Amino acid sequence: MPAYYWLIVVAVCILVELATMGLTSVWFAVGATVAYIVSLLGGETIVQIIVFLVVSLVALFITR
């Protein structure tokens, strides 16, 4: 997946977070940022998605 897709996901998550003020999407922004880095390093799309999901869930469990 192109890296800029992950930047779009990060931007949307941050905008949602700013609009709601209630920790609703910050975990997905973190996951998308790490997936973006994996994309820049040449990771396959499935690896990027798995990294996104795992990092998002870990961030969620750490903050909850």
Confidence of residue 9 (pLDDT cuts 50, 70, 90): very high
Which of 50, 35, 51 has its CA nearest to residue 2? 35
Compute CA distances 23 → 17, 18, 51, 56, 59, whole Å.
6, 9, 21, 13, 11
Residue 37: which domain range?
3-63
Model pLDDT for residues 39-52, shown as the tens digit of each residue: 999 999 999 999 99
Is residue 54 pLDDT above 90, yes or no? yes
State how many domains the chain has.
1
Compute CA distances 16 → 1, 19, 27, 47, 61, whole Å.
23, 5, 12, 25, 20
Question: Which phi and psi angles does 57 have, rounded to 5°?
Answer: -65, -40
| pLDDT at residue 63, rounded to an integer | 86
| pLDDT at residue 64, rounded to an integer | 78
Q: DSSP label at 33?
A: H
Confidence of residue 22 (pLDDT cuts 50, 70, 90): confident
Is residue 7 pLDDT above 90, yes or no? yes
